[in-house]
Amino acid sequence: MSVLKSLFSYAGKHKYLTMLSLVLSFASALLILMPFIWIWKVIEVLLKVYPDYSQAGAAVSYGWYAFGSAVLGILVYVGSLMCSHLVAFRIASNMRKEAMHHVVELPLGYFSTEGSGKLRKIIDESAASTETYLAHQLPDMVQLMTTVCAVFICLFVFDWKFGVACLVPLILALSNMFKMIGKGLEQSMKEYMDALESMSNEAVEYVRGILVVKTFQQTVYSFERFYKSIKKYEKFALGYTDQMRMPMTLFTTFINGIFIFLIGAMMLLISHGFQVDGMLPDFMFYVIFSPIIAVTTNKIMFASENTMMAQDAVNRIEGILNQKPFEYPDSAKRLDGYDIEFDHVSFTYPGSDVEVLHDIDLKIKNGSTVAFVGKSGGGKSTLVSLIPRFYDVTKGSIRIGGKDVRDIREEELMNKVAIVFQNSHLLKKSLYENVKMGFDVTDAEVNEAVHKAQCDDIVEKFDGGLQTKIGSKGVYLSGGETQRMTLARAIVKNSPILLLDEATAYADSDNEALMQKAILEVSKNKTTIMIAHRLSTIVNVDCIYVVEEGRITESGNHAELLARGGIYAKMWEQYSQSIDWKVGEGR
C-alpha cells in the first residue's frame, strides 16, 4: 500500500519493530479465536453427557484452555501494540521534524502567502492522525485479516448449512458497506479534510481580526470567508450523512442480525426432519461466533476509512515537502560589492495572475541612500522584498555587487541585508534579546544601538530596563516603539545593505526628527533603501524613485524632481500643505 510505503520512509531503523508488531498481532488474532473452539468443545461434551454432568470432567479442562488462550492472546496483543506505538511515535515525530526543517528552508514569501493556521494544522494534526493509524489501526488490520480468514474457514468447517445462513446476511451487509467505502469515499474524504482545513484556517484569521470586527461593531457575517467555510463544511457534512444514511442502516441491521438468519436456518432444518440434538452444538457455536463476524466487519469498514485519512494526512505533509525551496548552485557566491541592480524585473506573486511589477530597471550605487515613494499598493514593498529573495523574480534579474541574487548563498544574503518591515514583529523575549538576536556583539554595542535608534525612552519606561520581557505583565510596545526597537536590531546586525519599509510611519513630529537622525546615522556607508510616505524624511537622499502601478515613473533627487514639476512635485505640494495645516492648527 502506498500510504505505508510513504509512512515507512520516516521510520528509519525502527522498521523492524513494525514487522514484529504485525507478527504478534497475527498470533494474537489466532489465540483470541481459540476460546470459541474450546467453548464449542465444552458445549459438545455437556450435551453428550446430559443429564449426568459427573461425566463432564473434560469440559472443565476445555474451559481452562479457553481461558488460557484468551489471556495469552491479550498479552500478545499488548506486546504488539507496544511495538506499534514505538514506531508510530517515531514516524510522527520524524514527519513533524522533517516538515519543520523543510518549512524553514522555503522562500520567505511562502509564509506571507500561506496562513499560519493551515501550516500548523497540516504539520501537527496530519502527523497525529498517522500516529493513530500506525499505532492502532495497522496491527488491528492484520488481526482483522487473520480473523476474517479464520472466520471464513470456521463458517464451513463446523456445519456448512449454518455457514451459509451466516453468509447471506454477511454478503448483504458487505454490499452495503462497499456502497459507503467505494470510489467516492476517497474524494469525499479529501473534500471533508479540505473543508476542515479551510475552517481552521479561517478561524485563526477570524480570531486575529476580532479586534477590528468588534470595534467596528460588525457581526460574524462580516467575516464572510469564515462564515462561508462553516457553511461549506455544513453542506458537505449534511450531504454526506444523507448519502450514507440508507447503506449504513442496512449494513448495521444485517451485520447485527446474523443470529436471526441462524434461527431461521435451524427452524427450516427441523421442519425438514433434521434432529435437533445432532445440530445443537454447531448451532450454539454459530450463535456465539456471529458477534465476531459483526465486530470484524465493522472494523474493516473503519479501517478502510482510517487508511484513507492516513493517506490524506501523508498527502498533505508531502504537499509541504514538495514545495520547492530555492535552489543554490554548487558554486554559490559570496558578496563583495553592495550596489543593487534591477535588470528589467517583472514580478507576479505565486498563485496569482496579476503582474505587480512591470519591467523595473534601475541601479542603486554602493553606499548610496535611495527612497521609493508612491501611492499605496503601487508595489514598493514588493519591489524591496525581492532584494533579499523573499520571492524569485518572474522576469529579468536582480544583482547585488554584480551577482544574481539567485546565485548567492542564502546565509550570505541574509547576513548582508538588514530589514525593518512595515509591520515589524518583536519576539516574546526581553528587549535586550530582541535587539541582540543572537548576533555576536557585546552588551556595550547593544546599548549603543538602542541609543542610536532613539530607544532610550522606551527602556527607561520599564523598571527592568533592557531585560524587560515583552508580553509579560503590562509590557506592551506601541507601533512606533516597536519600529524603533527593530531599527536598533538592524543597527546591531550592521549589514552593508539596509531596507527600511515605512520606518518612520508611526513617528510623531517630535520623534520624526530623531528617527531621521537615527536613520542617517545607521545608513552611513551602507546601501540604504527607504520606503516613505512622509516626504520630509527623504529630501536628502541621493535618489528618489516614484513607483506607480508597478512601474518607476520618475527618478532623481528632491530638487530635480521638484524642478521637473511631475508627480513627485505634486506629491510634495500636497504633503507641504498637509504639514502647513497641522502647523496652522497648532497656532
- 472 phi and psi, to 5 degrees? -75, 180
Please identify, among the stretches 126-134, 379-387, 407-415, 536-544, the one whose residues bind Mg ion according to the rule CB under 5 A: 379-387
CA-CA-CA-CA torsion for 265, 268, 273, 276, nearest 10 degrees? 40
Q: Residue 379 binds what, of ligand ATP, Mg ion, none (CB under 5 to 8 Å, by partner type)? A: ligand ATP
Give alpha helix (H) positions in 257-358. Answer: 258-271, 276-321
Q: Residue 376 binds what, of Mg ion, ligand ATP, none (CB under 5 to 8 Å, by partner type)? A: ligand ATP
In this complex, which beta carbon is closest to Mg ion, that of residue 381 or of residue 528? 381
Residue 315 binding ligand ATP, by CB under 6 A: no
**Cell reading at 483:** 519600529
Alpha-carbon gap, residue 226 to 182, rounded angstroms: 31
Please identify, among the stretches 273-281, 300-308, 376-384, 513-521, the one whose residues bind ligand ATP according to the rule CB under 6 A: 376-384
Please identify, among the stretches 62-70, 116-124, 304-312, 418-426, the one whose residues bind Mg ion according to the rule CB under 5 A: 418-426
Q: Residue 61 binds what, of Mg ion, ligand ATP, none (CB under 5 to 8 Å, by partner type)? A: none
Residue 376 binding ligand ATP, by CB under 6 A: yes
Helix and strand numbers (H, E) in the chain are 22, 10
Residue 35 binding ligand ATP, by CB under 6 A: no
Shortest distance, CB of residue 349 to ligand ATP, whole angstroms?
3
Q: Residue 304 binds what, of ligand ATP, Mg ion, none (CB under 5 to 8 Å, by partner type)? A: none
Q: Do residues 247 and 179 touch, judged by C-beta distance below 8 A?
A: yes
Residue 382 binding ligand ATP, by CB under 6 A: yes
- Give how many residues touch ligand ATP by CB under 6 A: 13
Shortest distance, CB of residue 382 to Mg ion, whole angstroms?
8
Binding mask 389-428 for ligand ATP (x = CB under 6 A): ---------------------------------x------
In this complex, which beta carbon is closest to ligand ATP, that of residue 112 or of residue 578? 112
Residue 112 binding ligand ATP, by CB under 6 A: yes
Strand bridging mode 369-373 / 527-531? parallel
In this complex, which beta carbon is closest to ligand ATP, that of residue 115 or of residue 379? 379
Q: Which of residues 380-399 bind Mg ion (CB under 5 A)?
A: 381
List Cβ neighbours of 51 (8 Å cut-off, separation of 6 or more): none
Residue 534 binding ligand ATP, by CB under 6 A: no
CA-CA-CA-CA torsion for 328, 331, 337, 340, nearest 10 degrees? -30
Q: Residue 55 binds what, of Mg ion, ligand ATP, none (CB under 5 to 8 Å, by partner type)? A: none
Residue 504 binding Mg ion, by CB under 5 A: no
DSSP of 1-42: -HHHHHHHTTTGGGHHHHHHHHHHHHHHHHHHHHHHHHHHHH
List Cβ neighbours of 329 (8 Å cut-off, separation of 6 or more): 407
Please identify, among the stretches 68-76, 230-238, 349-357, 564-572, the one whose residues bind ligand ATP according to the rule CB under 6 A: 349-357
Place of cell 504485525: 22
Shortest distance, CB of residue 520 to ligand ATP, whole angstroms?
22
Please identify, among the stretches 229-237, 315-323, 416-424, 434-442, the one whose residues bind Mg ion according to the rule CB under 5 A: 416-424
Alpha-carbon gap, residue 35 to 15, rounded angstroms: 32
Shortest distance, CB of residue 487 to Mg ion, whole angstroms?
17
Please identify, among the stretches 86-94, 318-326, 375-383, 427-435, the one whose residues bind Mg ion according to the rule CB under 5 A: 375-383
List Cβ neighbours of 577 (8 Å cut-off, separation of 6 or more): none
Degrees, nearest 5: CA angle 321-322-328:
95
Shortest distance, CB of residue 352 to ligand ATP, whole angstroms?
5
Please identify, among the stretches 18-26, 203-211, 216-224, 370-378, the one whose residues bind ligand ATP according to the rule CB under 6 A: 370-378
Alpha-carbon gap, residue 566 to 568, rounded angstroms: 6
Residue 486 binding Mg ion, by CB under 5 A: no
Strand bridging mode 497-501 / 527-531? parallel
Which residue in the shown chain puts its C-beta closest to Mg ion? 381
In this complex, which beta carbon is closest to Mg ion, that of residue 188 or of residue 422? 422
Residue 381 binding ligand ATP, by CB under 6 A: yes
List Cβ neighbours of 484 (8 Å cut-off, separation of 6 or more): 453, 454, 455, 458, 515, 518
Alpha-carbon gap, residue 256 to 261, rounded angstroms: 10
Looking at the DSSP bridge assignments, the partners of residue 333 are 408
Alpha-carbon gap, residue 328 to 346, rounded angstroms: 21
- Which of 152, 349, 462, 575 touches ligand ATP (CB under 6 A)? 349
Alpha carbon 439 to chain centroid distance? 30
**Cell reading at 517:** 537622525
Nearest to 50 by CA among 277, 275, 270: 277
Place of cell 514505538: 86
- Which of 356, 362, 441, 505 touches ligand ATP (CB under 6 A)? 356
Q: Residue 388 binds what, of ligand ATP, Mg ion, none (CB under 5 to 8 Å, by partner type)? A: none
* Amino acid, single-letter form, for residue 15: K
**Cell reading at 274:** 433434521
Residue 483 binding Mg ion, by CB under 5 A: no
Strands ordered across the beta sheet of 355-364: 355-364, 340-348, 395-400, 403-404
Q: Residue 349 binds what, of ligand ATP, Mg ion, none (CB under 5 to 8 Å, by partner type)? A: ligand ATP
Please identify, among the stretches 236-244, 353-361, 373-381, 506-514, the one whose residues bind Mg ion according to the rule CB under 5 A: 373-381
Instruction: Please measure the distance between the N-terminal and C-terminal CA atoms of the chain and give it in whole angstroms.
Output: 80
Shortest distance, CB of residue 83 to ligand ATP, whole angstroms?
46
Place of cell 527612497: 371
The residues that touch Mg ion, with contacts defined as CB under 5 A, are 381, 422
Positions that interact with ligand ATP (CB under 6 A): 112-113, 349, 352, 356, 376-382, 422
